[in-house]
Amino acid sequence: MDKDVEQVLKRVKIIKGKLEALERSNAANRNIPGCGPGSSADRTRTSVVSGLGKKLKDMMDDFQGLRARMQQEYKETIERRYFTITGEKADEDTIENLISSGESETFMQRAIQEQ
């Protein structure tokens, strides 16, 4: 899943670069006679680029929300596994340590092997 997130972030960086290139193109286009600031062509180009930027921001906000929800669900899963194995409710630090160290998966496997 981390690879998928990494891929999305790379693509977003590429898209953001293309949007910046469009903004530079808009600025250069303003030097063409009849396409200066305030012209209909300039307003249209600016509006389209602005709309695309807003859409990208909205999508990234949705993506961040999804990531947060997935992380919370994973944390709850690890908490349930820990309780199932140890019979104790884990504190927040224990869960965070299991996840950050990568022990969350091996913890369950070791418990199964020990039985």
When pLDDT is cut at 50, 70 and 90, the band that residue 31 belongs to is confident
Report how far apart, in Å, the C-alpha atoms of 33 and of each of 28, 36, 41 are.
11, 6, 11
| Residue 73 clears pLDDT 90, i.e. is over it | yes
As a whole number, the mean pLDDT across the chain is 88
For residue 64, is pLDDT > 90? yes
Cα–Cα distance measured from residue 4 to residue 61, given in angstroms and rounded to the nearest whole number = 17
**Whole-structure pTM over 0.75, yes or no?**
no
